[in-house]
């Protein structure tokens, strides 16, 4: 009996320790980024572009990377939505009854979701070579769009599936076309669409491997789609290895900015999901 | 809508075909067997042996799974079977937040925290000297990155195990841990396997975080403190010069193809297991 009690206690302690390590690692990461990044944070950092060459120049901030990130993540999310909303509606509204077919399509998107961003980056690079596009804002947007489509489709699909089937059936029985019924459902899932946008934007803004080949890097803010663009993760990746302390500092500050942005996005998405599931019938 | 759906679904094939097409030049010169088993990597001389990179990937992935799997299983068990609803509500969001952190931030954390930790506190107990940049550092960073993935799948699988089953075990006098050991784990095994396979494929493809802490030396690692050079890091690191050396770009695209095939297979396996689990529960 005692042995069983001890065994029970032992494993309970082990489980609590494991939980502390797993959740604690979050604080460890955020704590490290904050303690390194805060000393380098100032107004210049978010309002100026780097001065005097990005690898050695000591002045300025990372405005180029902030704007570039917004352009790329924003552009990719918009493009991705234009493609994903019809796909999600198609899976749920047009091929009902044929479970095998819709499940096969879902499997394809699950698999696409699992493909690493470096492969999307390499593939995006192939597309660019094929069409003769140089590393640019456009190239970055194309690669990140490929990356976020599976996220958008999966999230939208999941949200549409929470809408009760009666709603669609009611619309259809009143003589609405499938597309009209789809519009009713789209209105119903508006917060879900917003969640999908946040998740896609969060993934797009944080990814390096997909933009490494495709976006190029520049100290300036891009003014057209064909100019190379910097992003925050690229700024971190390239500047971290610099021998100049100020440049390294820019990497730390960029890491801090990126972490804060991504945390806000994730928290917002979490809250939305919670709110959404509360209203669910 | 049909066009968009077909186009995005066929992306799976288009990526595979595109990468294969660009790998043909190197495949014409060297066989699959040679590419995968030779360890000389000298692009200037036309020698492309991927063996060190494959071993680098395997080492890092294995270390990550060995660290992450037990911790994640215990965490999931605690969250589902022991934790109060209140504690659960506080803890689960942090696991989700962890999954939202971008890879490059994990990389920065690895460089600032894990690498010095290994250099100053872990390695000196075992070997003379280590810079800290090692497959161990890569494995630890990766382990933290795959925590959320494994925990979220296993918690989901655990919550679907019928309460009756647990009650039956508890009512005949089993302790909670005995119930977990003899009933719950057995029931959850397919889910745990699926989660592991998915985590392995995630670990395989992770690029930036690993690249930043592994040291990137094209030699086969022999201990956890050796440097390693995983496949994705190879692709990312050499993009700049790949156009100037013949066959180099083809070799890198072959590396991407290799990653793509392995991850595709692993993903399909785990998704099929998970889908079957879901179906068994609904019928």
Instruction: Give contacts of B277 with chain A, Cβ < 8 Å.
Output: none
Domain count, chain B: 1
Contacts of A255 by beta carbon, 8 Å cutoff, 6+ apart: A33, A36, A37, A236, B104, B105, B108
C-alpha gyration radius of chain B: 22
CB of A265 within 8 Å of a chain B CB? The answer is yes
Give the list of residues 6+ apart from residue B7 with CB closer than 8 angstroms, or none.
A83
Distance CA B91, CA B74 (A): 14
In this predicted structure, the answer to whether residue B283 has a pLDDT above a threshold of 60 is: no
Interface test with A, best of B74, B90, B102, B205 (most A CBs within 10 A): B102
Q: For B97-114, write each residue's pLDDT tens digit.
A: 888 899 999 999 999 999
In angstroms, what separates the C-alpha of B124 from chain A's closest C-alpha? 23
pLDDT of residue B242: 64
Say how far apart CA B74 and CA B81 lie, in whole Å: 10
Q: Check pLDDT > 70 for residue B282.
A: no
- A225 pLDDT band, cuts 50/70/90, is confident
- How many residues belong to chain A? 281
A18 vs B4: CB contact, 8 Å cut-off? no
Closest alpha carbon within chain B to A261: B101
Residue B10: CB atoms within 10 A of its CB come to: 12
How distant, in Å, are the alpha carbons of A31, A106, A110, B77, B280 from that of B277?
Answer: 39, 16, 16, 19, 5
User: A117 with A209: CB under 8 angstroms?
Assistant: yes
pLDDT-derived band at B240 (thresholds 50, 70, 90) equals low
Mean pLDDT of A197-223: 85
What CA–CA distance (Å, rounded) separates A65 from A48? 10
| Whether B268 and A15 lie within 8 Å, measured CB to CB | no
Q: Is the pLDDT of residue A281 over 50?
A: no
Of residues A77 and A245, the one with the higher pLDDT is A77
Q: Are B105 and A260 in contact (CB under 8 A)?
A: no
| CATH number for the domain harbouring residue B190 | 1.10.3720.10
What are residue B47's DSSP bridge partners?
Answer: B42
Task: Decide which of A144 and A171 is more confident.
Answer: A144
The answer to ipTM > 0.90 is no
- pLDDT reported for residue A96: 65
CB contact under 8 A, B208 and A237: yes
Q: Specify whether the CB–CB gap between B152 and B99 falls below 8 A.
A: yes
pLDDT of residue B74: 94
Among the ranges given (A40-49, A86-95, B211-220), the one the predictor scored with the smallest mean pLDDT: A40-49
User: How far lies A19's CA from each of B82, B84, B88, in Å?
Assistant: 11, 13, 11
> How high is the mean pLDDT of chain A?
85
Confidence at residue A277, expressed as pLDDT on a 0 to 100 scale? 63
Determine the Cα angle at A8 with ends B85 and A25, to 5°.
55
Q: Above 50 in pLDDT, residue B47?
A: yes
Burial class (CB in 10 A: 0-12, 13-18, 19+), A140: buried
Query: pLDDT value at position A197?
Result: 93
Rounded distance between C-alpha atoms, residue A168 and residue B127, angstroms? 66
Residue A81 has a pLDDT of 93
Identity of the residue in A15, A94, A146 whose CB atom sits nearest the CB atom of B1: A94
- Provide φ and ψ at B215, rounded to 5°: 90, -30
What are the backbone dihedrals phi and psi of residue B42, each rounded to the nearest 5 degrees, phi first?
Answer: -135, 85
Residue with the larger pLDDT of the pair A114 and B128: A114
State CA A126 to chain mean position distance.
22
| A26 min Cα distance to partner chain B (Å) | 6
pLDDT single digits (tens) B153-186: 999 889 888 888 888 888 888 888 888 888 898 8
In this predicted structure, what is the pLDDT of residue A226? Answer: 81
Contacts of B108 in chain A (CB under 8 A): 32-33, 36, 236, 240, 251-252, 255
Distance CA A199, CA A153 (A): 11
The residue length of chain B stands at: 283
Q: Give the torsion sign (CA, B206, A39, A215, A56).
A: negative
Model pLDDT for residues A82-139, shown as the tens digit of each residue? 999 999 888 888 776 667 888 888 888 988 998 999 899 888 888 888 888 888 889 8
CB contact at 8 A, B170 and B179: yes
Q: What's the domain range around B16?
A: 2-282
Min Cα distance B8 → chain A (Å) is 8
Strand, helix or coil for residue B41: strand
Q: Do B259 and A116 touch (CB under 8 A)?
A: yes
SS (H, E, C) A75-132: HHHHHHHHHHHHHHHHHHHHCCCCHHHHHHHHHHHHHHHHCCHHHHHHHHHHHHHHHC
Nearest 10 degrees: Cα torsion B127, B129, B134, B139 = 40
pLDDT, average across residues B10-23: 88
Q: What is the Cα–Cα distance from B5 to A102, expressed in whole angstroms?
A: 11
Q: What is the pLDDT of residues A18-31, one digit of tens each?
A: 999 999 999 999 99
- Whole-structure pTM value: 0.89
Tell me the shortest Cα–Cα distance from A174 to chain B, in angstroms: 23
pLDDT above 80 (res A256)? yes
Q: What is the DSSP string of A14-62?
A: HHHHHHHHHHHHHHHHHHHHHHHHGGG--HHHHHS---S-TTT--S---
Nearest to B267 among A25, A105, A110 (CB): A110
Contact B100 A265 (CB under 8 A): yes
B-proximal residues of A, 74-103, CB under 8 Å: 83-84, 86-87, 89-91, 94, 103
Burial class (CB in 10 A: 0-12, 13-18, 19+), B177: buried
- Provide the mean pLDDT of chain B: 86
Residue range B211-239: average pLDDT? Answer: 83
Residues forming beta bridges with residue B48, ordered by sequence position = B41
Beta bridge partners of B41: B48
Answer for the pair B135, B63: CB distance below 8 angstroms, yes or no. Answer: yes
Size of interface A-B (CB pairs under 8 A): 238
pLDDT classification of B214: cutoffs 50, 70, 90: confident
CB-side neighbour CA atoms (13 Å) of A150: 23
Instruction: Measure B168 CA to nearest chain A CA, in Å.
Output: 18
3-state SS assignment for residue A139:
helix
- If pLDDT is split at 50, 70 and 90, which confidence band does A261 have? very high
Q: What is the mean pLDDT of residues B82-88?
A: 88
């Amino acid at each position: 009996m005692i042995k069983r009690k001890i065994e029970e206690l032992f494993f309970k302690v082990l489980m609590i320790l494991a939980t502390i390590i797993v959740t604690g690692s979050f604080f460890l990461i955020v704590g490290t980024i904050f303690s390194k990044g805060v000393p380098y944070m100032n107004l210049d950092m978010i309002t100026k572009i780097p001065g005097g060459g990005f690898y050695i120049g000591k002045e300025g901030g990372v405005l180029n990377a902030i704007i570039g990130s917004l352009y790329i993540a924003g552009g990719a999310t918009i493009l991705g939505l234009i493609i994903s909303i019809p796909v999600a509606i198609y899976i749920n509204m047009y091929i009902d009854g044929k479970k095998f077919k819709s499940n096969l399509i879902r499997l394809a998107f699950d698999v696409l979701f699992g493909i690493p961003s470096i492969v999307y980056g390499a593939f995006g690079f192939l597309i660019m070579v094929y069409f003769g596009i140089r590393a640019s804002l456009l190239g970055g947007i194309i690669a990140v769009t490929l990356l976020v489509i599976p996220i958008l489709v999966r999230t939208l699909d999941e949200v549409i599936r929470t809408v009760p089937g009666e709603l669609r059936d009611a619309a259809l029985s009143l003589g609405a076309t499938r597309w009209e019924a789809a519009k009713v459902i789209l209105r119903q899932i508006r917060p879900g669409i917003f969640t999908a946008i946040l998740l896609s934007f969060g993934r797009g803004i944080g990814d390096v491997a997909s933009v490494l080949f495709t976006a190029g890097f520049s100290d300036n803010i891009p003014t057209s789609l064909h100019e190379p663009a910097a992003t925050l993760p690229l700024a971190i990746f390239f500047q971290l290895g610099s021998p100049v302390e100020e440049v390294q500092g820019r990497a730390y500050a960029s890491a801090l900015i990126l972490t804060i942005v991504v945390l806000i996005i994730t928290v917002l998405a979490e809250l939305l999901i919670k709110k959404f599931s509360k209203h669910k019938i | 809508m049909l066009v968009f759906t077909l186009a995005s679904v066929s992306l799976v094939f288009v990526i595979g075909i595109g990468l294969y097409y660009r790998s043909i030049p190197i495949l014409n010169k060297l066989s699959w067997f040679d590419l995968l088993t030779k360890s000389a990597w000298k692009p200037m001389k036309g020698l492309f042996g991927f063996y060190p990179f494959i071993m680098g990937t395997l080492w890092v992935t294995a270390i990550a799974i060995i660290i992450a799997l037990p911790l994640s299983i215990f965490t999931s068990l605690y969250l589902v079977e022991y934790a109060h609803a209140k504690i659960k509500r506080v803890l689960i969001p942090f696991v989700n937040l962890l999954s939202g952190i971008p890879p490059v931030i994990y990389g920065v954390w690895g460089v600032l925290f894990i690498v010095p930790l290994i250099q100053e506190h872990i390695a000196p107990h075992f070997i003379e000297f280590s810079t800290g940049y090692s497959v161990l550092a890569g494995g630890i960073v990766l382990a933290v990155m795959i925590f959320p993935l494994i925990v979220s799948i296993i918690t989901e699988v655990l919550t679907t195990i019928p309460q009756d089953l647990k009650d039956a075990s508890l009512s005949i006098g089993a302790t909670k841990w005995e119930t977990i050991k003899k009933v719950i784990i057995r029931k959850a095994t397919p889910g745990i396997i699926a989660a592991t396979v998915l985590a392995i494929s995630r670990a395989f493809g992770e690029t930036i975080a690993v690249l930043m802490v592994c040291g990137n030396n094209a030699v086969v690692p022999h201990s956890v403190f050796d440097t390693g050079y995983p496949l994705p890091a190879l692709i990312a690191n050499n993009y700049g010069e790949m156009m100037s050396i013949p066959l180099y770009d083809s070799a890198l695209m072959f590396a991407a193809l290799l990653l793509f095939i392995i991850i595709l297979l692993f993903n399909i396996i785990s998704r099929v297991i998970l889908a079957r689990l879901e179906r068994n529960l609904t019928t």
